[in-house]
Amino acid sequence: MYGPNERALKPLFLQDLHIIHSWCLLEPWTLVEDFNMTRFLDERQGCEDNINDLDSFNDIIRALGLIDIPFEGRSFTWSNKRATPAFAKLDRFLVS
């Protein structure tokens, strides 16, 4: 599963997470994906992030009671691989 790149679609994507949660109320569940969003400002280097997107993403994680399991060994999971690279942590392992 991939989160949308377009900023206008991100709120709809977060609503979809609520729908997925409603299907799994009685069972544990896991989301492993490229969310195309970061949770904290230090998860991006060389590229901009919108503070409202950070807040919205963190709000949904808290509201759904999800735990963000950290990946080991790398600070970032994406790079644009340009001469002046940008880096971000876009991939997450979230569990209920």
Structural domain includes residue 1:
no
Residue 2 maps to a domain: no
Nearest by Cα to 96 from 69, 68, 70, 66? 66
How many domains would you assign to the chain?
Answer: 1
Enclosing domain of residue 70: 7-95
Closest by CA to 74, choosing from 89, 54, 85, 95, is 89
The pTM of the full predicted model, rounded to 2 decimals, is: 0.84
Measured between alpha carbons, how far is 14 from 61 in angstroms, rounded to an integer? 10
14, part of any domain: yes
pLDDT tens-digit readout, 36-87: 999 999 999 988 777 888 999 999 999 999 999 988 888 899 999 999 999 9
Residue 20 lies in a domain: yes
Contacts (Cβ under 8 Å, ≥6 apart) of 88: 38, 43, 44, 45, 47, 49, 76, 77, 78
82 falls within a domain: yes
Q: What distance in Å separates the CA atoms of residue 29 and residue 25, rounded to the nearest whole number?
A: 9
